[in-house]
Amino acid sequence: MKDLMTSEHPDWRKFIDRLEEELSGPGDSLNCPHDESFPVARKVLEAMGNFDIEESFSYFQENGGYCDCEIVFNVDLPDEPLSNDLFLADDADDVDDVHADDFSGGSMDDPGPGDEIGDWARPDWGD
């Protein structure tokens, strides 16, 4: 039974790392032959284990990878983790805004350390 190499595969990261390593040219550039038969990816997949290479290539092409370097640039896109981070960052901003409003409603002149504000602000409004 053969595996399909996709971005869902547990070894995807390893595959991309090896592919980049094999392709790495002088400086930061990728020395890709831009060959639609994926000569470098084929070599890496053969070295990594028992993969259905032709089916994996079909998957690469469906996701915009038509040569070895395009697998790295087009197929390996970390879309979901990035948007999650942005969403969390928005939430954090909202929390900051709420705190800023609380402070302006209290003492404008001497806000002092956070703990003290809590101490004098609380009892008068109390139970």
What are the residues binding Zn ion (CB under 5 A)?
Answer: 32, 34, 67, 69
**Contact 103/111 with Cβ under 8 angstroms?**
yes
How far apart CA 76 and CA 69 sit, in angstroms, is 10
Nearer to Zn ion (CB atom), residue 77 or residue 100? 77
Cα angle 16, 78, 22; round to 5: 15
Rounded to a whole number of angstroms, the minimum distance from the CB of residue 53 to Zn ion is 17
Residue with tokens 């970390």: 78
Rounded to a whole number of angstroms, the minimum distance from the CB of residue 55 to Zn ion is 20
The tokens for 126 are: 């109390």
Nearer to Zn ion (CB atom), residue 35 or residue 116? 35
Rounded to a whole number of angstroms, the minimum distance from the CB of residue 84 to Zn ion is 30
Nearer to Zn ion (CB atom), residue 32 or residue 44? 32
